[in-house]
Amino acid sequence: MGNQSTPQTLFEKVWNNHIIRPQTETTPAALYIDLHLVHEVTSPQAFSLLRERGLKVRRPDQTLGTMDHSTPTTPRNDLGIIPVLDMQASAQLDQFTKNCEDFGIPMYSLGTENQGIVHVIGPEQGFTQPGMTIVCGDSHTSTHGAFGALAFGIGTSEVGHVLATQTLLQYKPKTMAVRVNGTLADGVVAKDIILAVIAKIGVGGGTGHVFEYMGSAIRNLSMEGRMTICNMSIEGGARAGMVAPDETTFEWVNGRPYAPQGADFDKAVEFWRTLPSDEGAQFDAEVVLNADELIPMITYGTNPGMGMPIDGRVPDPDKQATVSERMAMDKALTYMGLQPNEPLLGKKVDVVFLGSCTNSRISDLRLAAKMMDGQKVADDVRMMVVPGSQQVKKQAEQEGLDEIFKAAGAEWREAGCSMCIAMNGDQLAPGQYAVSTSNRNFEGRQGKGGRTFLASPLTAAATAINGHITDPRTLYVPEMA
Amino acid sequence: MEPINKISGKIAPLPMNDVDTDQIIPARFLKTTNKDGLGQQCFFDWRYTADGGLREDFILNQPEYQDASVLIAGNNFGCGSSREHAPWALQGMGWKAVVSTEFADIFRNNSLKNGLIPIIVDDETHRQLMSLAEEDPTTEVSINLEDQQLILPDGRKVEFPIDGFSKYCLLNGVDQLGYLMGLEDEIVEYEGSHDKRVVTTA
């Protein structure tokens, strides 16, 4: 069989399309990057490198900046400006503005109409398209793989490389098929799928691999659901996760400001249809999950792999197979203040966070709002709702979702990463428990000493209403579908 | 970057798996625009009490490990975020190499670009090193990058993998950007033969 007819995976097609110089025994492949997203936190040292060497940004027209990580989500002042009170954050944002201006990079400044979390705005504006290579100095760049793009996080040195050359040196990763067949039950959503996948393979299970999510349960997801899943690929150790583009993808991209328009769009779709993995394409590894058996998931520990069905009991460290697993679980349960065999249902929480690049899109907010319509956030619970972008915020306000959240007693905030990474003052106090729709429950991730349970927007909403960890199926009504 | 070939140093244990980059350098310290001072903030929440004192329960705070430079870490070290501040912070704290059974991909890439050597060894060697580090803090190992060998106190030489390109860059003290800049002709050719997928400045 000739090379032409060897069946290829989606990943291989996108990879091969972007090779500038092939991988050899002594050198990695040089890969062309179609879109480089930059934000204030992981780029300053890269711009310094460019200045030191007297280099320009090669393709400012394929680079986009946004402010998201260290930005406050507190209300605007009388002038309509979101004040930045943290001096260090303010200096970092000013430096970012200067860097983008000096190097000619378009940038969405804090509070402007298209600003938001980098992984929300890329798709939203139509920058993210099937078949592209997309990088950003942020591990959740895997989100964009939902469109059939090869998208992954890079370090700051690599940010410098891409700024200067639009090219990146990479060794070809392996591929892992993640097959999810079956139908999700009411109250079970994309977040539950990915938490179940990571619980199954562990936080290092995908190291060295690119995931391709496939199967009927993935096909039936909305683009937002697919983004939620691809977003957390990195929590399973995979730098990238991809979903083959289909009609759902094309429909979502069509008409977005930076997507191809008219005849160009039709031509693009023709190309995009060639991208899905060929029949018989080989993967280096495979993991299979049955969506029929899935119930809402929640994490109990201090990494995203420490997850379980919401009606389960916290595992017993003594029953783990190896010494290191026992030690890790012991340490996690001590930090979390949990006992072995304890159920999590009914566990009182202090904070509920609805937001992050995992779950801050309009469909996430709609889902939570439907559950919270006419309800109240429990006494002593703080609920923060942080839309992923200014556009999501605007859309939600047009639909009246903000009124539902506010009437329930939740905080309706400005767009940004917020308490997912807790750099901007939005954080847990030591010892506080939170149910969070974000992606990481690492020690201190949401504030020093804070304790995070990761879950879906539905579980977050149900928990906010009851004030304790709640199975969302108990509050689910068919209108939420 | 200074060329690196041979490293010798005392070892120190960090016997836990899946140490994520939020532990190595908490996100609140990422509001910097340079690389200064990150060493003091490395493992900050494990190292210091709320009032700034040293936490006695953190193994790397023990006096006998203060001049160690080779960290024996658990499996899947450096998982989580892409922050290159993690290797910067580890280097700032004095680490020259980290030994584990596996590293997270982005952390490994970032470390290699900064001259922090990630050394992958088999389970048995790892167990041996972890025990040595815990039992005898004066234990020294040496690393020969050219030969890709980790040399244990008993003289045993353990080979470790490193890609040829990173090794070349480290041995010669050059970074990868120079190589990429040398691809100009190929980049121009690629750009000339492929339609631009997106224009952010439109």
Return the CATH number at B17.
Answer: 3.20.19.10
Percent share of chain B, pLDDT over 70: 100
Number of domains composing chain B: 1
- Residue A448 at interface with chain B, using a CB cutoff of 8 Å: yes
Partner-chain contact A32 B190, CB within 8 Å: yes
- Residue A317 at interface with chain B, using a CB cutoff of 8 Å: no
C-beta atoms surrounding A182 within 10 Å = 15
- Contact yes or no for A142/A151 (Cβ under 8 A): yes
pLDDT of the residue at A199:
98
In tens, the pLDDT along A23-33 reads 999 999 999 99
**Model-level pTM?**
0.97
Percent share of chain B, pLDDT over 90: 97
Residue B171 domain flag: yes
In tens, the pLDDT along A189-213 reads 999 999 999 999 999 999 999 999 9
Which residues from A are below 8 Å from B194, CB to CB? 32
- Contact yes or no for A423/A41 (Cβ under 8 A): yes
Residues contacting residue A430 through CB under 8 Å, at least 6 positions apart:
A447, A448, A449, A450, B50
Which residues from B are below 8 Å from A323, CB to CB? none
Question: Number of CB pairs < 8 Å for A and B?
Answer: 211
Q: Mark residue B51 as left, alpha or beta (left: phi above 0; alpha: psi -120 to 50; beta: remaining).
A: alpha
Tokens of B39: 């060493």
Residue B173 domain flag: yes
Residue B155 domain flag: yes
Residue B200 domain flag: no
Nearest to B10 by CA among B129, B128, B118: B129
pLDDT of the residue at A5:
77
In tens, the pLDDT along A340-399 reads 999 999 999 999 999 999 999 999 999 999 999 999 999 999 999 999 999 999 999 999
> pLDDT confidence of A1, banded at 50, 70, 90?
very low
Domain of B111, in residue numbers: 6-192
Spatial distance between the Cα atoms of B144 and B151, rounded to a whole number of angstroms: 8
Q: Mark residue A303 as left, alpha or beta (left: phi above 0; alpha: psi -120 to 50; beta: remaining).
A: beta
Residue A31 pairs with which residues in a beta bridge?
A19, A168
Q: Mark residue A387 as left, alpha or beta (left: phi above 0; alpha: psi -120 to 50; beta: remaining).
A: beta
Mean pLDDT of chain B: 96
Nearest to A414 by CA among A207, A9, A112: A112
In tens, the pLDDT along A210-247 reads 999 999 999 999 999 999 999 999 999 999 999 999 99
pLDDT of the residue at A2:
43
Residue A4 reports pLDDT greater than 80? no
Spatial distance between the Cα atoms of A206 and A285, rounded to a whole number of angstroms: 9
CA distance from start to end of chain A: 47
**Which residue from B84, B163, B187 is facing A167, i.e. has the nearest CB?**
B187
Residue A264 reports pLDDT greater than 70? yes
**Which residue from B76, B81, B180 is facing A204, i.e. has the nearest CB?**
B76
Residue B1 domain flag: no
In tens, the pLDDT along B40-94 reads 999 999 999 999 999 999 999 999 999 999 999 999 999 999 999 999 999 999 9
Residue A479 reports pLDDT greater than 90? no
Residue B201 domain flag: no
Nearest to A62 by CA among A91, A7, A23, A103: A103
Residue A310 reports pLDDT greater than 80? yes
> pLDDT confidence of A82, banded at 50, 70, 90?
very high
Nearest to A173 by CA among A284, A94, A280: A284
Residue B51 domain flag: yes
Tokens of A53: 């060497």
Coil vs helix vs strand at A151: strand
Mean pLDDT value across residues A68-79: 96
Which residues from B are below 8 Å from A61, CB to CB? 196, 199-202
Residue B161 domain flag: yes
Partner-chain contact B82 A445, CB within 8 Å: no
Residue A450 reports pLDDT greater than 50? yes
Distance from B61 to chain A by nearest Cα, in Å? Answer: 18
Q: Locate tokens 């306000």: which residue?
A: A397
> pLDDT confidence of A3, banded at 50, 70, 90?
low
Distance from A131 to chain B by nearest Cα, in Å? Answer: 9
- Residue A295 at interface with chain B, using a CB cutoff of 8 Å: no
Mean pLDDT of chain A: 97
Distance from B113 to chain A by nearest Cα, in Å? Answer: 7
ipTM of the complex: 0.97
Name the helix (H) or strand (E) containing A384.
Answer: strand A382-385
Spatial distance between the Cα atoms of A318 and A333, rounded to a whole number of angstroms: 12
Spatial distance between the Cα atoms of A123 and A144, rounded to a whole number of angstroms: 7
Strand A307-309 with B6-14, pairing: unpaired
Residue A121 reports pLDDT greater than 50? yes
